Structure 1
Amino acid sequence: MVSPAIALAFIPFLMTLIIRYRHYFLLFWRAVILRKIQDYTTGLSREERAFQYVMTHSIPGDLENILSTFDTWCYRSEYLSNVGPEKGKILERLISETVPLTVLELGTYCGYSALRMARNLSLSARLYTVEMDKGNAAVAEKIIRLAGFDEDMVEQIIGPTDEIIPQLRERFGVDKFDFVFMNHWKRCYLRDLQLLEDYDLLQEGSIVVADNVIFTGAPHFMQYAKSCGKYSWKIHRTHLEYFRHIRDGMAELTYIGLKGGT
């Protein structure tokens, strides 16, 4: 049994630990503990609760208002792993600079990042967004249509990314993607990037943007991107969505194809 004197000696250490990592403890509270409590008491998923808030407090068709309402809920109520406003602006800038005609999003979640990308696309462009979770996909579909985007601009595809990617050319008539945004399971980043390569869905100059490469990180994906010789790359250092004290980053890869291997 630990003596009181020994237990007291650990108090300063524990206090230092809590203070130093308080933002991570807060993230754990909001993302895990609070979510479970609210799931139990409301009978709704966190994503459904966010949708109810957006429906109640936003203006249909007003994209900026819908995004800011999402952000308000995430700052003040519960945590959602949207791309968030800081990284969202980077994503929008990259879309505006590259002017893609075909865009693929892996991980629709609640539709937040799809809205940010879609509003910067030309009228002739098309965004295909893939979501595995049917509940999240239902929320995203409502949010995307609430913002005023139809299926000619934003088409949602429901299913696992490793099943959908091989079907994109035959089923959806896509030849190549100019821009790809990855914001799904980090462990799937590398697998899905290689699937895009294997099915010849990238062309020289295609941009691949991957979120959360610092927190929680995607080390195998980044190691491959840096060493395979098929990409030039850079990291946009930012912060975790809705937590300005937790460092994060987005990877921007530019596909150069086999030229990089020679």
Structure 2
Amino acid sequence: MMWLTLFYSCTGVAALLYILYRWVIPTAVQHHGGLALIWHVIIVEWIMDTLTQSTRPQRILSAVQKNATRGDPRSVIRAIDQFCSQKEWAMNVGNEKGCILDSVVSEVNPATVLELGTYCGYSTVRIASLLPPYAKFITLEFNPDFAAVARQVIAWAGLEDKVQLVEGASSDWIPKIKEQFGIKTFDLVFLDHWKEHYLSDTKLMEECGLLRKGSVLLADNVICPGAPDYVEYVRSSPRYKSHYFRSHLEYTKAEDGLEKSVFLE
């Protein structure tokens, strides 16, 4: 009888913990960006990495290979969005802000693009799928494990010939881009790496002459986790004309947004 009671007690506790993990806590943090990041990035990712002996990017890649059609960029995007909204959150730009990204890419119709922060290649696929055949697209990723996954995601989307993925620190590569890739200036720059580097890398691009009159900078996560020094700079500097696109942190209801800044000189 004692063992039966213990069994039911353990089962009840396990069920409660699962309900908390699967529904209660995720729902509770939906409207608070900071709590959502702590829960999904620190706690859940550690739990899943420990249980599966894999990484979140590897699990995203598996979802793409299982659910997306090879050579179809939009099916790759749908597979990642489905995985991140239904199974395991990840810090891609996400579908809501992704639509804003799509509209900016289509509006600018860039011939040269720089992406700072590839992660698993989600935004890379969105951007590359909208570029004309002659466009040059460079994406920089500091983490070699992320880069390895991103290459496979990009290839699964059939876009490997349109993307040059470069591993290393943005501060190291930005001064070498003209010499290494023969690109004079960028029509579009998408900032989606470490938020504390947004401002320093933007100033470095200015110093290196990688921005021309009309170049567009589009920065993600300017509210959550936030890049206040960058936002203050592009909004107050006479060198930029900026516009904020209000949206939500990917796969949540917490406020976040994109800052579009046009370089004026």
- TM-score under structure 1 length normalisation: 0.87
Specify the code of the residue in structure 2 equivalent to 1:81. Answer: M
Kindly tell me the number of residue pairs found equivalent between the two proteins.
238
Which one of the candidate residues 235, 241, 264 is aligned to 1:256?
264
* C-alpha displacement of 1:21: 6.0
Do residues 22 (structure 1) and 22 (structure 2) align? no
Indicate the SS of the match to 1:128. Answer: strand
Provide the rounded CA distance (Å) in 1 between the counterparts of 2:166 and 2:182. Answer: 14
Partner of 2:12: none
Alignment of 1:169-208 (within 5 A): 169-208=178-217
Alignment of 1:72-83 (within 5 A): 72-83=82-93
**Any gaps of 5 or more consecutive residues in structure 1?**
1-17, 258-262
Alignment of 1:84-163 (within 5 A): 84-151=94-161, 153-163=162-172
- 8 Å CA contact retained: 1:61, 1:147: yes
**Quick one: percent identity of the two aligned structures?**
39
Partner of 2:76: 66
Higher RCO (CA < 8 A, seq sep 6+): 2
Partner of 2:219: 210
Q: Which string of whole-angstrom CA distances, capped at 9 and with x for unpartnered residues, describes residues 173-202 of structure 1?
A: 110000000000000000000010000000
Provide the rounded CA distance (Å) in 2 between the counterparts of 1:76 and 1:133. Answer: 26
- TM-score under structure 2 length normalisation: 0.86
Indicate the SS of the match to 1:180. Answer: strand
Q: Which string of whole-angstrom CA distances, capped at 9 and with x for unpartnered residues, describes residues 53-97 of structure 1?
A: 211122111211111110011011111110111111111111111
**Any gaps of 5 or more consecutive residues in structure 2?**
1-24
* C-alpha displacement of 1:50: 1.1
- 8 Å CA contact retained: 1:31, 1:78: no
Do residues 220 (structure 1) and 229 (structure 2) align? yes
* C-alpha displacement of 1:222: 1.0
